[in-house]
Amino acid sequence: MADIAFRGVNKIYPNGFQAVHHLDIEIRDGEFLVMVGPSGCGKSTTLRMLAGLEEISSGDLLIAGQRVNDLHPQARNIAMVFQSYALYPHKTVQGNIEFPLRMAKVPAAEVKARALKVARMLELEPLLKRKPGLLSGGQRQRVAMARALVRDPVAFLMDEPLSNLDAKLRVQMRAEIAALQRRTGTTTVYVTHDQVEAMTMGDRVAVFKDGYLQQIDTPQQLFERPVNTFVGSFIGSPSMNLIAARIEPSDDGLAMTLAGERIALGHGLEVRFNTPGGAADLVAQIGLRPEDVVDPHLAEEGQRLHGRVVLTELLGREQMVYLDLRDGVQVVARLHADHRLHSGEDIAIGIDPTRLYLFQADGRALTYRQVPKG
């Protein structure tokens, strides 16, 4: 067991493409860290550098305080579960589980005992003599986990381990993996492109884009305090609406103009922005999560937007409503389905200013404090 640290790590491929830019991450002992991002964001490359499958171009990788850049994968004593599980088709389940121990020249009796223990833990005992070809997807997944567990590694690395399973099994295995990690307490680094997996499984989540680490934080912090529009819209489903806006002083604190309408922001509070120019004529982007759209009747006066319904999707108790607001702004709202809306209807939606995310024009989050007026 050990903590892991990336210190200024870069990955540049021979063709000049830089997959990872100056990465700094500290992973605590026993932590479950999820790395998430769209494909090509550098998350898998980072994992593979940690595994020792990719060379590190520059910077340091530390495991338990020791620099391991040049160590062979085995010497790092990490275990990895692959997207395709990468089980050896010619070996039985038992053969697969025992293989890492055999390669490490562990005495035969101990190999058997440890393999059996892990197989029991993962309920694989009845399957030990089978070949992987005869197993279901979930069983193969468990064999891959067992092969990783058996060597008692300092860290588990998992590269999209659930993406080959069907939706139902995925939810089940998600819980199983998380539970297993809590039980063993092994540091785990988990790569996925699925933000739901990231949010439900990770102690902390690292969001990547274009080879840069965007933000690393607890799921709740990521959701509530995204550092930029990318993280804001990547986390949460359906995605946050991003609307261009202008923030200006008004009689009642601050107000903003978006989608051709004026919304009072202050509501009796003064908002102080931590930007050099303060709040004077700030061009900004507003993040509005679909589920944060409120019933217009519950919204305060001056906190409503108007538009026309383009399309609705019924999701049982709720409905997704696609709207054209003024100035050609399009938003998605998640509304209660008590009153079903239909395309072509003109409606109003309510905005709760305290639930809005504020970003600068370049996408970085606007940090602000609300203080009592006066």
- Under the rule (CB under 8 A), what is the footprint of another protein? 48, 51-53, 55, 69-75, 78-80, 82-84, 86, 88-91, 99-100, 103-104, 147, 151
Least spacing, CB of residue 315 vs another protein, in Å: 36
Q: 79 or 305: whose CB is closer to another protein?
A: 79
Q: 79 or 288: whose CB is closer to another protein?
A: 79
Q: How far apart are CA 56 and CA 40, in angstroms?
A: 17
- Longest CA–CA span in the chain (Å) reads 81
DSSP type of residue 373? -
Edge-to-edge, what's the strand order for the sheet holding 187-192?
Answer: 78-81, 155-159, 187-192, 32-36, 204-209, 212-217
Least spacing, CB of residue 363 vs another protein, in Å: 35
Q: 114 or 147: whose CB is closer to another protein?
A: 147
Q: How far apart are CA 97 and CA 252, in angstroms?
A: 67
Q: 55 or 125: whose CB is closer to another protein?
A: 55
Best CA proximity match to 142, nearest among 167, 118, 114, 113: 118
Q: How far apart are CA 250 and CA 267, in angstroms?
A: 11
Q: 7 or 272: whose CB is closer to another protein?
A: 7
Least spacing, CB of residue 77 vs another protein, in Å: 9
Least spacing, CB of residue 231 vs another protein, in Å: 29
Least spacing, CB of residue 111 vs another protein, in Å: 13
Best CA proximity match to 187, nearest among 96, 111, 77: 77
CA distances 1 to 27, 29, 156, Å, are: 12, 6, 10
Is the omega angle on the peptide bond into residue 290 within 30 degrees of 0, that is, cis?
no
Least spacing, CB of residue 73 vs another protein, in Å: 4
Q: How far apart are CA 214 and CA 12, in angstroms?
A: 19
Q: 48 or 289: whose CB is closer to another protein?
A: 48
